[in-house]
């Protein structure tokens, strides 16, 4: 028996125990151990029932993702799973934590399942560009029916133990000790003379329903919602086999479809996104034993949209937070804004009234810096103007206790200069949240030149506590994400001057997989932000760095985006649906004329090259300057903060997939044709010429 799986007997019950930290993933040793243990229990005449239980925080959380892309090793999970189901003695899976993917498939191959009340079960393979490849697409529909199985498999979303019990996925929900619950259930099976109940043999849930119609509807929904995704459609085809083929054929069909997904570029990209999101939280050069300061209380300076969103992040994590505003009226408005924002979640059904009230007890308002004397962490979220920041940080320096973390949410101002407004620059760090702060997962943790290791480690721990994807970055204009999005925005505006329309650019970007088109996003955030940056740059950039003039013309016409009802698109009152702006063509034509540019037809591929390669070139510069510690951190930032499609892996992963030699050659052409902005990053040139990838760094 391998040490990751052990077998012992308790009376007439064989106990198979998995212990493969951190998540009991089904690596080859676990698969081997499961197969051997179930065979040994099957052969032992003293054994009348089998219990499968896991050590650690969770039941099996899936196949070992690290094995994907490597040569398969026997036994395969389907063989292990089919062997468990074929057993002649009743088997019971005891679920706790998260039984996900192959973990739930192993549980489904057991004859019975019980779950601790806080457990969750699910088949998230689609999030990795895969589909359940060990019988999940054949067995889950036999338990919950095709409709619910399609929802769970195509969304990848887990369900609670309670819902799983209601659906029949688990037979019982228990509280308390795992093995005791498992033994009690198994001994009752023995006492009641209950034998195996094989999921694969059930057909009742597949009958009497127009399953073909359900499949067709799901296909149509995917065509509309996720036309570019590879594995969801194959998930549907696999579930279709559950009611069109006998089990053995259906399992075979599932394996074929799984194999197609396994070799897809989208699977490689999504697995890259999964692991690199976790890697990003590891700070190069930070000693493992760096102390982390306590943070049991917080404050936010500024009760605007960002400030309230940030305060809600602390309240959501159970940390009491004070919002400091300049007047009682502004303070009260901020508290009300928090309550109203939570209220919207209650209306949507994603938050209970009780939870709203509990979180509101954690949010209070103050107007005096002296009230912040005891807080462990302060996040400044005031107007993006250095003079205002100076006043705030001088006040914090004068009032906050020694050791308090003094953070700025600034999105582009120089954190090193902000730190100089205090006598404790080593305690100053950037916590750059993304709007809406209580929703967006990305958090850029900005390390100033004087920020101490301890403060950086504490800032990363705060990010994790707030359930953010915390990525450490260095100080530069716009840090990583905004510095890159500026290049992307500028190129998309130039494309309008050269002949494209906002609708065409946005459609091409959405087809590429971006969550939002570039211009729909600009309308949402407001064109005045970009205009302010342009104005600042016109004063500082050398003349050869030309800037588009469309924003200026649109601002003159009062078009600032959704906030004015029109921008790159027009918006009917109360609607956020972008509609073509009839006034825009004249503005674009005038801008083209002024720039001396002959408007021409642009292809979607060209649009993608101009926007994506602008991101990649800037990303290479950021990497070279050490503002990001690894190329994959840039991918994580862009996926989690800017709607870059995870199934493309992130800008740098995408560049590697296209081939840096091709990207570099195109950027050299753009440099020739379009001038200074397109000077290739030296790192990109170097890697391209050496035939290497960003991933090789």
- In the complex, least distance from residue 551 CB atom to ligand T1G, rounded to whole angstroms: 41
- Segment near ligand T1G (CB under 6 A), from 19-27, 34-42, 590-598, 603-611? 19-27
Of 4, 18, 23, 636, which lies in the binding site for ligand T1G, with binding defined by CB under 6 A? Answer: 23
Q: Which of 196, 167, 5 is nearest to 84 (CA)?
A: 196
Of 7, 13, 25, 687, which lies in the binding site for ligand T1G, with binding defined by CB under 6 A? Answer: 25
> Residue 133 interacts with ligand T1G (CB under 6 A)?
yes
C-beta separation of 633 from 481 below 8 A: no
Q: Which 8-state DSSP code applies to residue 128? A: G
Of 90, 101, 430, 578, which lies in the binding site for ligand T1G, with binding defined by CB under 6 A? Answer: 101
Q: Which 8-state DSSP code applies to residue 374? A: T
Q: 105 an active-site residue? A: yes
Distance, in Å, from the CA atom of 111 to the CA atom of 185, rounded to the nearest integer, reads 12
* CA dihedral for 399, 403, 408, 409, sign (positive or negative): negative
Nearer to ligand T1G by Cβ, of 186 and 469: the residue is 469
> Residue 125 interacts with ligand T1G (CB under 6 A)?
yes
> Residue 100 interacts with ligand T1G (CB under 6 A)?
yes
Tokens of 202: 């059930």
Q: Which of 111, 110, 144, 140 is nearest to 125 (CA)?
A: 140
Of 33, 90, 129, 132, which lies in the binding site for ligand T1G, with binding defined by CB under 6 A? Answer: 132
Distance, in Å, from the CA atom of 217 to the CA atom of 239, rounded to the nearest integer, reads 13
CB-side exposure of 81: number of CA atoms within 13 Å? 27
Which string of b and e fits 432-459 if b means at least 16 CB within 10 Å? bbbeebbebbbbbbbbbebbbebbbbbb
Residues near 666 by beta carbon (within 8 Å), at least 6 away in sequence: 609, 613
- In the complex, least distance from residue 636 CB atom to ligand T1G, rounded to whole angstroms: 13
Distance, in Å, from the CA atom of 385 to the CA atom of 412, rounded to the nearest integer, reads 10
What mask, x for binding ligand T1G by CB under 6 A, covers residues 162 to 191? ------------------------------
Residue 456: alpha-carbon gap to chain centroid: 22
Q: Which 8-state DSSP code applies to residue 173? A: E
Give the DSSP H/E element, type plus range, for residue 580.
strand 579-580
User: In this structure, how many other beta carbons lie within 10 angstroms of the beta carbon of residue 192?
Assistant: 8
Nearer to ligand T1G by Cβ, of 35 and 105: the residue is 105
Distance, in Å, from the CA atom of 267 to the CA atom of 696, rounded to the nearest integer, reads 19
User: Residue holding tokens 């970055």?
Assistant: 473
Catalytically annotated residue among 105, 254, 444, 503: 105
User: Residue holding tokens 């509990």?
Assistant: 358
Of 18, 106, 128, 149, which lies in the binding site for ligand T1G, with binding defined by CB under 6 A? Answer: 128
- Segment near ligand T1G (CB under 6 A), from 17-25, 357-365, 405-413, 677-685? 17-25
- Segment near ligand T1G (CB under 6 A), from 99-107, 249-257, 531-539, 616-624? 99-107
In sequence order, the β-bridge partners of residue 159 are: 121
- In the complex, least distance from residue 63 CB atom to ligand T1G, rounded to whole angstroms: 4
Catalytically annotated residue among 35, 85, 125, 277: 125
Cα separations (Å) of 201 from 86, 103, 121?
10, 20, 22
Nearer to ligand T1G by Cβ, of 62 and 645: the residue is 62
Residue 310: alpha-carbon gap to chain centroid: 18
Distance, in Å, from the CA atom of 122 to the CA atom of 100, rounded to the nearest integer, reads 5
Nearer to ligand T1G by Cβ, of 183 and 469: the residue is 469
Distance, in Å, from the CA atom of 357 to the CA atom of 337, rounded to the nearest integer, reads 14
Nearer to ligand T1G by Cβ, of 103 and 302: the residue is 103
- Segment near ligand T1G (CB under 6 A), from 94-102, 109-117, 405-413, 527-535? 94-102
> Residue 140 interacts with ligand T1G (CB under 6 A)?
no
In sequence order, the β-bridge partners of residue 442 are: 469
Of 134, 362, 400, 419, which lies in the binding site for ligand T1G, with binding defined by CB under 6 A? Answer: 134
Gyration radius of the chain's alpha carbons? 28
Nearer to ligand T1G by Cβ, of 65 and 330: the residue is 65
Nearer to ligand T1G by Cβ, of 139 and 610: the residue is 139
Q: Which of 429, 424, 419 is nearest to 479 (CA)?
A: 429
- In the complex, least distance from residue 622 CB atom to ligand T1G, rounded to whole angstroms: 23
Q: 249 an active-site residue? A: no
- In the complex, least distance from residue 164 CB atom to ligand T1G, rounded to whole angstroms: 16
Q: Which of 4, 48, 6 is nearest to 25 (CA)?
A: 4
- In the complex, least distance from residue 112 CB atom to ligand T1G, rounded to whole angstroms: 21
Cα separations (Å) of 27 from 22, 66, 75, 129?
12, 9, 10, 19
Tokens of 101: 């993917």
What mask, x for binding ligand T1G by CB under 6 A, covers residues 278 to 317? x---------------------------------------
Distance, in Å, from the CA atom of 104 to the CA atom of 121, rounded to the nearest integer, reads 6
Nearer to ligand T1G by Cβ, of 4 and 15: the residue is 4
Residues near 688 by beta carbon (within 8 Å), at least 6 away in sequence: 660, 661, 663, 664, 665
C-beta separation of 313 from 433 below 8 A: yes
Angle at the Cα of 644 from the Cα atoms of 638 and 645, rounded to 5 degrees: 135
What mask, x for binding ligand T1G by CB under 6 A, covers residues 28 to 67? ------------------------------x--xxxxxx-
Nearer to ligand T1G by Cβ, of 278 and 576: the residue is 278
C-beta separation of 579 from 569 below 8 A: yes
- Segment near ligand T1G (CB under 6 A), from 44-52, 133-141, 186-194, 687-695? 133-141
Burial of 427 (0-12, 13-18, 19+ CB in 10 A): buried
Tokens of 679: 């000077």
Task: Give, as ranges, the residues between 351 and 390 that touch ligand T1G (CB under 6 A).
Answer: none
- In the complex, least distance from residue 62 CB atom to ligand T1G, rounded to whole angstroms: 2
Number of residues that bind ligand T1G (CB under 6 A): 26
> Residue 153 interacts with ligand T1G (CB under 6 A)?
no
- In the complex, least distance from residue 274 CB atom to ligand T1G, rounded to whole angstroms: 7
What mask, x for binding ligand T1G by CB under 6 A, covers residues 235 to 274? ----------------------------------------
Nearer to ligand T1G by Cβ, of 23 and 602: the residue is 23
- In the complex, least distance from residue 462 CB atom to ligand T1G, rounded to whole angstroms: 16
- In the complex, least distance from residue 91 CB atom to ligand T1G, rounded to whole angstroms: 19
> Residue 464 interacts with ligand T1G (CB under 6 A)?
no
- In the complex, least distance from residue 474 CB atom to ligand T1G, rounded to whole angstroms: 23
Of 33, 90, 129, 136, which lies in the binding site for ligand T1G, with binding defined by CB under 6 A? Answer: 136
Active site residues: 105, 125
Binding site for ligand T1G (CB under 6 A): 22-23, 25, 58, 61-66, 77, 98, 100-102, 105, 124-125, 128, 130, 132-134, 136, 275, 278
């Amino acid at each position: 028996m391998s040490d990751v799986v052990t077998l012992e007997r308790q009376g007439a019950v064989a106990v198979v125990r998995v212990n493969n930290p951190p998540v009991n993933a089904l690596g080859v040793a676990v698969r081997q151990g499961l197969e051997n243990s179930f065979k040994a229990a099957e052969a032992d005449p003293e054994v009348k029932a089998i219990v499968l239980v896991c050590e650690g925080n969770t039941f099996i959380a899936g196949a070992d993702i690290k094995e994907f892309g490597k040569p398969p090793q026997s036994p395969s999970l389907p063989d292990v799973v089919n062997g468990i189901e074929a057993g002649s003695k009743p088997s019971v899976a005891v679920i706790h934590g998260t039984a996900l993917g192959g973990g739930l498939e192993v549980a489904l191959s057991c004859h019975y399942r019980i779950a601790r009340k806080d457990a969750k079960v699910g088949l998230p393979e689609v999030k990795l560009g895969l589909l359940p490849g060990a019988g999940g697409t054949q067995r889950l529909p036999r338990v919950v029916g095709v409709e619910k199985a399609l929802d769970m498999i195509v969304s990848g979303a887990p369900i609670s133990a309670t819902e799983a019990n209601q659906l029949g996925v688990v037979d019982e929900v228990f509280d308390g000790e795992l093995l005791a619950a498992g033994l009690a259930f198994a001994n009752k099976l023995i006492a009641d003379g209950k034998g195996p109940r094989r999921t694969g043999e059930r057909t009742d849930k597949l009958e009497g329903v127009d399953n073909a119609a359900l499949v067709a509807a799901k296909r149509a929904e995917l065509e509309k919602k996720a036309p570019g995704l590879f594995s969801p459609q194959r998930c549907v085809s696999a579930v279709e086999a559950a009611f069109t083929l006998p089990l053995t054929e259906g399992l075979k069909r599932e394996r074929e479809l799984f194999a197609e997904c396994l070799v897809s570029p989208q699977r490689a990209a999504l697995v890259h996104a999964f692991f690199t999101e976790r890697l990003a939280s590891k700070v190069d050069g930070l000693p493992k034993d760096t102390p982390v300061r306590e943070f049991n209380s917080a404050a936010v300076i500024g009760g605007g949209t960002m400030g309230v969103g940030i305060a809600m992040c602390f309240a959501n994590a159970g940390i009491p937070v004070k919002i400091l505003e300049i007047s009682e009226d502004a303070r009260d408005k901020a508290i009300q804004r928090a309550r109203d924002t939570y209220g919207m979640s209650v209306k949507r059904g994603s938050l209970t009234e009780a939870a709203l009230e509990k979180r509101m007890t954690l949010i209070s308002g103050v107007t005096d810096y002296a009230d912040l004397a005891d807080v462990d962490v302060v996040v400044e979220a005031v107007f993006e103007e250095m003079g205002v920041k100076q006043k705030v940080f001088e006040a914090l320096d004068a009032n906050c206790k020694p050791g308090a973390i003094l953070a700025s949410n600034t999105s582009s101002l120089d954190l090193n200069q902000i730190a100089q407004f205090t006598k404790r620059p080593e305690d100053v760090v950037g916590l750059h949240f993304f709007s809406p702060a209580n929703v967006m997962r990305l958090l850029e943790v900005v390390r100033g030149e004087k920020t101490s290791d301890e403060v950086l480690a504490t800032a990363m721990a705060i990010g994790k506590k707030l359930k953010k994807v915390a990525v450490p970055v260095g100080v530069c204009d716009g840090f990583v994400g905004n510095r890159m999005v500026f290049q992307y925005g500028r190129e998309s505006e130039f494309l309008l001057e050269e002949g494209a329309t906002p609708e065409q650019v946005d459609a091409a970007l959405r087809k590429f997989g971006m969550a939002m088109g570039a211009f729909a996003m600009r309308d949402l955030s407001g064109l005045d932000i970009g205009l302010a940056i342009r104005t600042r740059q016109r004063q500082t950039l050398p003349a050869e760095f030309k800037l588009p003039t469309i924003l200026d013309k649109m601002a003159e016409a009062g078009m600032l985006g959704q906030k004015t009802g029109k921008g790159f698109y027009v918006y009917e009152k109360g609607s956020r649906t972008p509609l073509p702006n009839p006034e825009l063509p004249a503005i674009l034509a005038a801008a083209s004329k002024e720039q001396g540019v002959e408007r021409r037809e642009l292809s979607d591929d060209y649009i993608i090259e101009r926007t994506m390669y602008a991101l990649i070139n800037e990303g290479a510069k950021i990497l070279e300057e050490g503002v990001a510690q690894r190329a994959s951190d840039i991918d994580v930032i862009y996926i989690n903060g800017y709607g870059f499609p995870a199934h493309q892996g992130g800008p740098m992963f995408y560049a590697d997939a296209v081939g840096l030699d091709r990207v570099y050659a195109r950027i050299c052409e753009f440099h020739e044709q379009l001038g200074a902005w397109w000077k290739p990053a030296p790192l990109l040139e170097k890697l391209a010429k050496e035939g290497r990838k960003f991933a090789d760094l």
